[in-house]
A and B are shown apart, each in its own frame.
Chain A
């Protein structure tokens, strides 16, 4: 083994240590990059290929041949990645649901003086005021005003809940578009990763990017990921391939006439319904089709019963001008309830009396006020108020539930994130230490070159001069 080999070892050492510095620099530069996994050069001692001639030409056989960089490794815990994706799906789901319900809570606006509970009580009381002075134009005007406020509030609440539903529907379409975009990005990344890995290059940064996209995708929809041998991945939504290696199969949304024209999520290729079971998409669908439908139905049930019951009594009564058999409310449910316009135009037609030409009789007004205590709801077991109050309570419970589920997932996510970061994240202290380590090794290798150089000089200039 000659000195040229020593020079060779020193040169490679220089190169390898410099690579170490480069990778450290890359790590430091990306200390704050989202989804970045730290990298490290894997050093291996270069050994001689076994020639079978060991010990033949030297004193102790051959020494090693220095250092080599075998690969640039990416630090990543795949198992935590799997777990975190599961948690992200649930977090997306409950997060979306609790957010939607929190908006519904604002719409419901209880407990306040402008909430339906108060307005309903004011409505009944306006009939009692009328019963105290059935001849009075002011008391009649008051009934019209209070019922007007009640029906406006019911209508507005209904419209706001419906508007919230259609906002959610728009968001469903946006999310589906995002899922398709992410699918396409993953396909692109797949192709690049396969190409780079085949060429023996470091694909670490691309893998990070792809993992980041998978995280994003997991928040949106239930996905499962399988890795192929060539480094590409397949992504399945509800057991069907969204991404299969280099191919993406997009989702689409179609309006469903059976569901108020809200959009269903289907596979673009054959219009089959997508099996969405988790993620933000599921949360939105769930909120739109279940969580919000409940309060809307409750509101409709309450309003329909109110219309029927009040009208039934009002029909039997007589107005100051002896009008009878009039409805007090028009409409059938929360969407179209209104005070009968005839009564608004002429409050004397409001039927407070039980017979014709009895201006001082208020039996009919009292009978309407009595409906407040009548067991008209829940199959004859509860009053209007009972029904309404427990509906508000139920909404509160479902919000609490969704919120605490989302919070639990958030805690889990934070925990798993810490675990993931403990493996993958850049620690500047470490990097600084490594930097010094590589610097020192680089300096030593450089010194090695100068030593070998002086050894060569000795050989060339001093040897063979004896006897000159």
Chain B
């Protein structure tokens, strides 16, 4: 029972990380039809810069970590917005070229990070509390999971509030439903593109700093490896659906944890099988709508 509880909560913690990456991917795809292969690079860059700034403020202290998280948010949003303006916008409505450009950016940026920070991951220092565990009904849960779950929940609430309560959120929601109609009503939907990229980038940037907390290190390939899981989560949840991404993140991570523990480290395979099963039964994903 305690094992199941442990696996469940650590699974939700990992799912929180997946959600931070997948939420942006899903929103961007839903609005613009672009599968962003450079998303992992937003995450990696934010992770590195967050760590660089954080350790100067206070290595291994809460102030350093919180500053790092803030830097990650800002860096992710800025880099994503610049990417949209410089690389995505000129290729407006040419989806395949947009995907190819993000593929190129992803490959090139990882190489650049390797050049700057080296190929090997760098171990980082964290506040002591994060290295300890909390007893929940007999299960010793690592404390960093609480940070992950809390941050992801805040991001989820923040994005939902933004989408529901602001006028830009309204434009974005309408754009996901029917972009042509929004344009026909005289609204410049392109500004919404930049905003969605910035939001997705900010979530990924925060995810980058939290990924370094989760793994205890920052590395040039951290974003790329998380990106593959985020893709799987996005497809399972239904491309363009935020709630789908949230549910699928937790589902995928929990399946992965349980398969890793009970089926001899086959977590990766279990996730892929889950993807195949979902696609065969329901090609649009769990919460995906059929697009017209």
Partners in one complex: no
Chain B positions within 8 Å of A, measured between CB atoms, are: none
